[in-house]
């Protein structure tokens, strides 16, 4: 999904994620997609280096994590800081906005994890019919 050009977004329009050209729609995709949501919730634990984040978000490729982090940084959800060391280290943290969004995502994940037995039973029933 392409991101609307900030130069062409009309700031007087009300945000409506259901509208095709709303600037909030690609942001929703970035934060609520599988990798974005997992990365953001993992970052709730505090400043994290790329390699530690990749280990925490099991199954994500280096390329996909890099792309996900770039999108989240562009959207103002995370902050990337290069540590002046040899070799240089990069740490990622949530911004205030990112922390608010990550808290909501963590709540959703908590609901899913605590109801996984019901979900698996529903999936089983669905495929049985």
Rounded to whole angstroms, the Cα distance separating 6 from 26 reads 13
pTM (2 d.p.)? 0.84
Does residue 2 sit within a domain? no
Give dist(CA 53, CA 55) in Å, integer. Answer: 5
Rounded Cα gap, residues 58 and 42, in angstroms: 11
pLDDT at 12: 59
Contact, 15 vs 21, CB < 8 A?
no
Q: What local confidence, expressed as pLDDT, does residue 1 receive?
A: 45
- Does residue 15 form part of some domain? no
pLDDT, residue 40, reads 98
CA angle 10, 15, 21 (to 5 degrees): 65
The predicted structure's pLDDT at residue 13: 65
Question: How far is 118 from 30, CA to CA, in rounded Å?
Answer: 28
> Which CATH number goes with the domain that contains 80?
1.10.10.10
Residue 105 in any domain: the answer is yes
Q: Give the domain extent around 56.
A: 24-128
pLDDT tens digits in sequence order for the chain, 129 residues long: 455 555 555 555 678 888 888 899 999 999 999 999 999 999 999 999 999 999 999 999 999 999 999 999 999 999 999 988 888 889 999 999 999 999 999 999 999 999 999 999 999 999 987
Q: How many domains does the chain have?
A: 1
């Amino acid at each position: 999904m392409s991101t609307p050009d900030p130069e062409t977004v009309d700031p007087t329009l009300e945000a409506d994620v259901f509208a095709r050209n709303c600037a909030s729609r690609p942001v929703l995709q970035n934060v609520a997609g599988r990798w974005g949501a997992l990365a953001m919730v993992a970052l709730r634990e505090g400043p994290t280096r790329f390699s530690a984040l990749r280990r925490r978000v099991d199954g994500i490729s280096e390329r996909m994590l890099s792309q996900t982090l770039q999108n989240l940084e562009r959207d103002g959800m995370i902050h990337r800081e290069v540590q002046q060391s040899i070799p240089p280290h990069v740490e990622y943290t949530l911004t205030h906005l990112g922390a608010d969004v990550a808290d909501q995502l963590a709540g959703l994940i908590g609901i899913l994890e605590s109801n996984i037995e019901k979900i698996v039973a529903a999936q089983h029933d669905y495929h049985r019919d």
